[in-house]
Amino acid sequence: MKRSSRSLYQLATRYYNGDGVRKNWRRAFLLTKQAAEQGYRVAMDALGSCYLYGIGTKRSPRIAVVWYRRGAENGNLDAQYNLAACYAGGSGVRRNYKTAVELVREPAKRKMPEALDMLGYFYRYGLGLKKNRRMGFRLQLQSAKGSVAGAQFSVGYCHSKGEGTAPNAKKAFYWYLRAAKQGQSDAQHNVGYYYERGRGVKQNLSKAIKWYGAAARQGDKEAKAALKRLQQH
- The predicted-structure confidence for 105-135, as pLDDT tens digits, reads as follows 999 999 999 999 999 999 999 999 999 999 9
Confidence of residue 80 (pLDDT cuts 50, 70, 90): very high
Burial environment of residue 49 by CB neighbours within 10 A (0 to 12, 13 to 18, 19 or more): middle
Q: Is CATH 1.25.40.10 what the domain over 1-109 is classified as, yes or no?
A: yes
Exposure of 53 in the CB half-sphere (CA atoms within 13 A) = 10
- Cβ neighbours of residue 120 under 8 Å, at least 6 residues apart? 135, 136, 137, 138, 139, 140, 141, 142, 143, 151, 154
Domain boundaries, the chain: 1-109, 183-233
Overall size of the chain counted in residues: 233
Contact in structure between 120 and 139 (CB atoms under 8 Å): yes
Q: How far, in whole angstroms, is CA 227 from its chain's centroid?
A: 28
pLDDT average, residue stretch 60-76: 98
- Tell me which residue of 45, 53, 47 sits closest to 81, measured CA to CA: 45
HSE (side-chain half, CA atoms, 13 Å) at 48 = 27
Neighbours of 86 (CB within 10 A): 25
What single string gives the DSSP state of each residue in 74-124? TT-HHHHHHHHHHHHHTSSS---HHHHHHHHHHHHHTT-HHHHHHHHHHHH
State the average pLDDT over residues 65-94: 98
Assign 2 a pLDDT band (cuts: 50, 70, 90).
Answer: low
pLDDT at 1: 53
pLDDT at residue 233 tops 80 = no
The mean pLDDT value for 34-53 works out to 98
**Contact, 182 vs 149, CB < 8 A?**
yes
Q: What is the pLDDT of residues 154-195, one digit of tens each?
A: 999 999 999 999 999 999 999 999 999 999 999 999 999 999
Residue 209's pLDDT band (boundaries 50, 70, 90)?
very high
Confirm if 50 and 32 have CB atoms less than 8 A apart. Answer: yes
Q: What share of the chain is helix, strand, coil (3-state, %, to 5)?
A: 70, 0, 30
